């Protein structure tokens, strides 16, 4: 069995969608079967429609499938990408995770490789605590956390976060950024392949 990777993101304005897309492309190039999926939007439609950039992103990504428990069972590896909200993951991602009790109860999330990425409005806006909050949940699942660590020089070129790539909103997606995201995705696929 090869690597079956679910790349699951939540994105309000597009940053985490872009990160997830780059990761999915790198994982496919590394030989994984990939499903790019989004967490369900839980904000009221009127709130989304009231902010032009939020509405535009929702419309632009309407065709991206919504993540489900069935996707979690299909995958033998996961890559999550969600923005930070007050130092933890966005509530939309938390809401998705909170639907997974049934899969978790039968062991369907255990022994699978997992990694995470995030973004915030500023450099010290809670990226590391957000990643650790994601990993805390995944440790409860019995998943195998595959953080990038300092396993490639590209990590140092993009802020030096060993827990997972983190992007500062509004900053460009430079070649160094793309390399860091691709390295994390490839490392996840490599470890997941060994576990599979």
Q: What tokens does 194 get?
A: 């060994």
Residues forming beta bridges with residue 83, ordered by sequence position: 119
| % of the chain with per-residue pLDDT over 70 | 100
Q: Which domains, from first to last, does the chain contain?
A: 4-195 (3.40.50.360)
8-state DSSP, 110: T
Rounded distance between C-alpha atoms, residue 133 and residue 88, angstroms = 6
Q: What tokens does 95 get?
A: 């809401």
**In the structure, what pLDDT confidence band is assigned to residue 71 with cuts at 50, 70 and 90?**
very high
pLDDT reported for residue 123: 83
**Averaged pLDDT for residues 2-10:** 98
**Averaged pLDDT for residues 54-82:** 97
DSSP code per residue over 10-61: --SSSHHHHHHHHHHHHHHHTT-EEEEEEPPP-S-HHHHHTSHHHHHHHHHT
Which pTM was predicted? 0.97
Rounded distance between C-alpha atoms, residue 42 and residue 93, angstroms = 9
Contact 57, 14 (CB under 8 A): yes
pLDDT reported for residue 122: 87
156-190 pLDDT per residue, tens? 998 889 999 999 988 999 999 999 999 999 999 99
- Which residues, other chains included, contact 187 with Cβ-Cβ below 8 Å and sequence gap of 6+? 115, 146, 148, 151
């Amino acid at each position: 069995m090869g690597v079956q990777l679910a790349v699951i993101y939540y994105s309000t304005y597009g940053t985490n969608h872009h990160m997830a897309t780059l990761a999915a492309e790198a994982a496919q190039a590394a030989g994984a079967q990939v499903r790019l999926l989004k967490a369900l939007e839980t904000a009221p439609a009127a709130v989304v429609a009231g902010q032009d950039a939020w509405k535009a992103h929702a419309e632009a990504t309407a065709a991206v499938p919504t993540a489900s428990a069935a996707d979690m069972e299909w995958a033998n590896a996961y890559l999550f990408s969600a923005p930070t909200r007050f130092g933890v993951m966005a509530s939309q991602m938390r809401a998705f995770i909170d639907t997974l009790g049934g899969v978790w109860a039968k062991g369907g999330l255990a022994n699978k490789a997992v990694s995470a990425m995030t973004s915030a409005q500023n450099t010290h806006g809670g990226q590391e605590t957000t990643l650790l909050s994601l990993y805390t949940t995944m440790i409860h699942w019995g998943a195998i956390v595959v953080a990038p660590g300092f396993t490639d020089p590209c990590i140092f070129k993009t802020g030096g976060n060993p827990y997972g790539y983190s992007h500062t909103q509004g900053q460009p997606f430079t070649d160094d950024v793309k390399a860091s995201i691709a390295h994390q995705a490839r490392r996840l696929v490599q470890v997941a392949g060994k576990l599979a």
